[in-house]
Structure 1
């Protein structure tokens, strides 16, 4: 499993891809902060919270994470290397886990790059460390779930661009499941509303962004990752058997 994990990381870090993603990631963090500073009036003090920053930029991540995961399996099929991968002594389950961990490592690298902002803020102002830690845990869990979803979508096609577009559409829809569940029409059906709301990740992330860690939220994100990776395994294994 480790050789596949290492190969995936090399495909990211031996090219400008990971660094371009990290730069774009940091740009997304810079925009709300720069906007807040530009609106300062008659004061040298900026009321600012990193939890608010995480919550405000989460929509932009919807367009970023599918780009990270789009090549996971789609490029293997397109380049004809999927056959070599499937005939290797490594099981399909280990291949899926190795690719997931590689994507998660790149995502973690991008998060580490954003530590620049709280460090500068701590020098010039004050940082509530407990809320900052909760926000990072929340954005990590949220990202892990959407990375697993992006990998599942990538396993369905050999075109990485299509995988990215479908991923963005699906993730965008899931982002607003809670709003749809709270709509006037759905609220007429309490049971359906409860079912839809149970799949909403946004309210769970909101608790992290406010500085709270709930076991139920950790279980939700962990279970979602496991289920999505299991579906990815089934998708790859089914295609493996179809090849004979």
Structure 2
């Protein structure tokens, strides 16, 4: 655990030494702030479901920019060999990079709680859907980051890693909407389950916390971490 903590700290510092982190923070928070007040003035309701849903969607394009460098840059520059010769395991390296990205995700999300505070200051929103929405948003973001981690471990070019992540996430997103909701055949049900759309946009943003949806994000994120560990191990010995 000491190795993981040390490496996580190093990765987190690397984020804040990169201008891309500040660009992402600024663009995300300004965009969400603008849309929050637009949605509020349009709907006239103390409700965050729309803005939480939009944060979940726009993160498809933002979070892969955080993960694209995690392994692609290491393999491209050859620093992966230096890192792996240190007394750490591949799993520890993967976990530290993933944990650092999760911490940055919190840095990205936490300032938006200000908008929830504004709703409570000037209205009477239901706290349940807001809390459920933020829980879902974090789980969704964790899944996006895990997918990005896999993509970054597969290629040397950072841009390629980002594009692969975005394409995969968009496919998983669209999959939930091209399958008819009333279709009951096994294939349609399986494809609907694979898509994260129904698990987040169809549940958490509506204030529904179902253990099946939580397990979907947790198990798939952990699987991606495991898959990344396997990929990095194989690439090291090629």
The 5 Å alignment of 1:45-60 reads: 46-60=44-58
TM-score by length of 1: 0.89
Q: CA deviation at 1:38?
A: 5.5
Q: Distance in 2 between matches of 1:159 and 1:222?
A: 28
- The aligned counterpart of 1:235 is 231
Change (3 A) 1:155 1:95: same
Paired residues in the alignment total 234
Asked if 2 retains the 8 angstrom alpha-carbon contact of 1:5 and 1:98, the reply is yes
Q: Distance in 2 between matches of 1:209 and 1:37?
A: 16
Helix, strand or coil at the partner of 2:203: helix
Asked if 1 retains the 8 angstrom alpha-carbon contact of 2:48 and 2:130, the reply is yes
Return 23-32 or 216-225, whichever deviates more. Answer: 23-32
Q: CA deviation at 1:176?
A: 1.1
- Larger Rg: 1 or 2? 1
Q: Distance in 2 between matches of 1:108 and 1:36?
A: 23
Q: CA deviation at 1:98?
A: 0.7
Return 29-38 or 232-241, whichever deviates more. Answer: 29-38
Q: Distance in 2 between matches of 1:183 and 1:116?
A: 35
- The aligned counterpart of 1:178 is 176
Q: Distance in 2 between matches of 1:28 and 1:212?
A: 26
Q: Distance in 1 between matches of 2:40 and 2:221?
A: 37
Q: Which runs of 5+ in 2 are unaligned?
A: none
The 5 Å alignment of 1:52-201 reads: 52-182=50-180, 187=183, 190-201=185-196
Q: Distance in 2 between matches of 1:201 and 1:160?
A: 25
Q: CA deviation at 1:39?
A: 4.3
Q: Which runs of 5+ in 1 are unaligned?
A: 41-45
- The aligned counterpart of 1:10 is 13
Q: Distance in 2 between matches of 1:162 and 1:56?
A: 25
Change (3 A) 1:26 1:95: same
Q: CA deviation at 1:195?
A: 1.6
> What does the per-residue CA deviation read over 1:139-171, in whole Å, with 9 as the maximum and x for residues that have no partner?
000110110000000001111011111111111
Helix, strand or coil at the partner of 1:85: helix
- The aligned counterpart of 2:211 is 215
Provide the aligned C-alpha RMSD in A.
1.9
Q: Which has the higher helix share?
A: 2
Asked if 2 retains the 8 angstrom alpha-carbon contact of 1:22 and 1:113, the reply is no
Q: Distance in 2 between matches of 1:145 and 1:92?
A: 20
